[in-house]
Amino acid sequence: MSENLERDVAAGERFERALLWRALVIVLVIAAVVATRALWG
Amino acid sequence: MPAVQWILSVFVLAGAIPLLTGCYQSAVAALHRFGRSVPAGPVVEPRVAVVVPAWNEAAVIGRTIDTLAGLEYPPDRLRVYVVDDASTDETPEIVVAKAREYPGRVFHLRRERGGEGKAHTLNHGLRCIHAEGWFEAVLIIDADVIFTARSLSMMVRHFREPRVGAVTAYIKEGSRPANYLNRFIAYEYANAQAGARRAQNLLGAHACLAGGAQLIRRASLEAIGGVIDTSSLAEDTVTTLNIQLHGARVVFEPHAIVWAEEPRGIPALWKQRLRWARGNVQVTRRFHKIWLRGRRVGRLGSVSFALIWFSTLLMPLFMVTASASLVALFLMDRGVSLELFRTLWAVNLAAYLFVTLSTFSFDPQAARTSWVQGFAFPGLISLTIILYAFDPPFADAHGGDLIRHLGVDPSSGLGTALLLFAYVWLAASMLAAYAMKLLAGLRWTAWMARPLLYVVGFGPLLCSIAAAAFVEEARGTALVWEKTEKLGAVGDLA
């Protein structure tokens, strides 16, 4: 495997690992909005 | 509550199924790192025959060939076969010149009688490469797509696993300068490809290899008869399902990027998507023995796969039944209808936020250029209804309930009309999208397409096309393979 391809594969794996954390942040943001709405209401 | 009201309530809440399924796909896609990884082992570099169907592609074919010849892949293991479908422009001259420029690597295959459609053109090429016998895998692409330098290498890695029969790439919208429609499509592809196909990797069943980037192992191609199905408008979906029914896996490689030119106007988009949507209706009928059949047909028979397939296919039905049920409930009990309406749209709001933000995370590059279109995807009318339904007290605190804020008494005739408009919008948005398509095709009203698309929404437009596909299939309209015109607008992105 060429060096460039190895680098792309490694970058891709890092990106995939980050997806889960991003999803968790999104869920937390939405939960915060809903909670704020509930408290406001 | 009477039984009929319960039933209608279920229909109303079923209106959230498509968006909730979108949430499910996005959540599963976020877990993509836990899916099967490519097994370690020696480098796999099969002899790849690239088959390019081309009918009057003079504007794009030269560049496509140059890009393929420049891929970071062993030159002696890659051949390009351009199947010229009786082109009447300069396509043959360009391909012949490229064949001279890349001797032994680029081949011009001419069909003297053309116009039968992409599948027939592809089959001509497949028969030629079979006769030659050199190839170990075939890469079927479109004439306008631009493969990034290492995309093919990223794709073939998956063949280290013997059960993988086909690999597809991430097709991205590449028109430059991108107009408003291109930006909507860029967001849509981030959702429907980068998101949905990651989820399908994890669920172990794929609905469709992207038509512009289908890498198929020779054994899998031969297992399905060695040719592409010619009896449907969705030949790539038929290929994908057949490969899996023959026991092989299909994989999506999200980091193999392929740029493609997409329609720049609503009439062209309608034509292209109607062909896809009609193809999906045909595929649903033809493969009726796979839906919800469990392990007998592998993961294709799973509940998840059926949910993903039918929530898209039947989206118009969900919208119409939800709207009609809300109106019926309104006539029976206004209070109940209002509660359900708010519940439906509150669920839609949470799902919309999750799906939209997740889609941005699947492709941050597309998010940077298309975030406005991402947020505007449901249309400004739907977004207004979402906010109104979600939080009238919040609106009260900041200037009053929306209807009151407009100076309208909610119990007046106008207030009732506005409420009913919000109830029926789910279904009416499809009619509005159809009207938008008609206006976009007229000389004096074409300018209205852009503002109307933001107001009505890209989602309702796709829904409207899906509904039109059912109508065309029911009427038995002739299956005409109409090519999407390509102008060579893909930017310098490779």
Domain ranges of chain B: 3-20+310-475, 37-265
Would you tell me which residues 421-480 of chain B have a C-beta closer than 8 angstroms to some C-beta of chain A?
none
Would you tell me which residues 317-376 of chain B have a C-beta closer than 8 angstroms to some C-beta of chain A?
350, 353-354, 357-358, 361-362
The pLDDT of B325-343, averaged and rounded, is: 91
pLDDT of residue B430: 97
Query: What does B296-307 look like in DSSP terms, one character per residue?
Result: GGGGGGSHHHHH
Q: How far is A23 from chain B (nearest CA, A)?
A: 6
Read off the amino acid at residue A32: A
pLDDT of residue B353: 94
Q: Which of B77-86, B104-113, B333-342, B387-396 has the lowest average pLDDT? A: B387-396
How many percent of chain B have pLDDT more than 70? 93
Taking alpha carbons only, the member of B367, B373, B18, B394 closest to residue A33 is B394
The two structure tokens encoding residue B5: 């009201």
Q: In chain A, which residues have their Cβ closer than 8 Å to the Cβ of B361?
A: 19, 22-23, 26
Q: In chain A, which residues have their Cβ closer than 8 Å to the Cβ of B353?
A: 26, 29-30, 33
Q: Which of B20-29, B110-119, B167-176, B472-481 has the lowest average pLDDT? A: B472-481
Nearest residue of chain B to residue A19 (CA atoms)? B30
Rounded Cα gap, residues B17 and B138, in angstroms:
38
Domain B37-265 grouped into CATH 3.90.550.10 = yes
Torsion of CA B201, B206, B211, B215, to 10 degrees: 60
Q: Is A16 on the interface with B (CB under 8 A)?
A: yes
Q: What is the ipTM of this complex?
A: 0.94
Type and span of the H or E element at B476: none
Residue B488 DSSP one-character state? S
Contact between B358 and A9 using a beta-carbon 8 Å cutoff: no
Q: Is A22 on the interface with B (CB under 8 A)?
A: yes
Rounded Cα gap, residues B232 and B219, in angstroms:
23
Q: Which of B237-246, B296-305, B372-381, B431-440 has the lowest average pLDDT? A: B296-305
CA B255, B26, B376 angle in degrees (round to 5)?
Answer: 95
Q: In chain B, which residues have their Cβ closer than 8 Å to the Cβ of A9?
A: 154, 157, 255
Give yes or no for residue B276 having a pLDDT over 60.
yes
Read off the amino acid at residue B62: G
Query: Taking chain A (41 residues) in consecutive chunks of 10 residues, what is each chunk's mean pLDDT?
Result: 87 96 95 81 60
Average pLDDT, chain B: 92
Residue of B361, B390, B396 for testing the chain A interface, max A β-carbons within 10 Å:
B361
Q: In chain B, which residues have their Cβ closer than 8 Å to the Cβ of A36?
A: none
Q: Which of B247-256, B307-316, B408-417, B434-443 has the lowest average pLDDT? A: B408-417
Rounded Cα gap, residues B39 and B149, in angstroms:
23
Detail the DSSP E strand segments found in B128-248. Answer: 137-141, 146-147, 164-173, 213-217
CB B184 within 8 A of CB B106: no
pLDDT of residue B407: 64
Taking alpha carbons only, the member of B205, B229, B219, B221 closest to residue B286 is B229
The two structure tokens encoding residue B40: 């370690």
When mean pLDDT is compared over B33-37, B136-140, B487-491, the highest value belongs to B136-140
The pLDDT of B168-182, averaged and rounded, is: 94
**Domain layout of chain A by residue ranges:** 1-41
Q: Is B392 on the interface with A (CB under 8 A)?
A: no
Q: Is B170 helix (H, G, I), strand (E, B) or coil?
A: strand
pLDDT of residue B482: 65
Q: How many CB pairs under 8 A join A and B?
A: 67
B310-333 pLDDT, tens digit per residue, is 999 999 999 999 999 999 999 999
Whether the CA torsion B393, B394, B399, B405 is positive or negative: it is negative
pLDDT of residue B112: 86
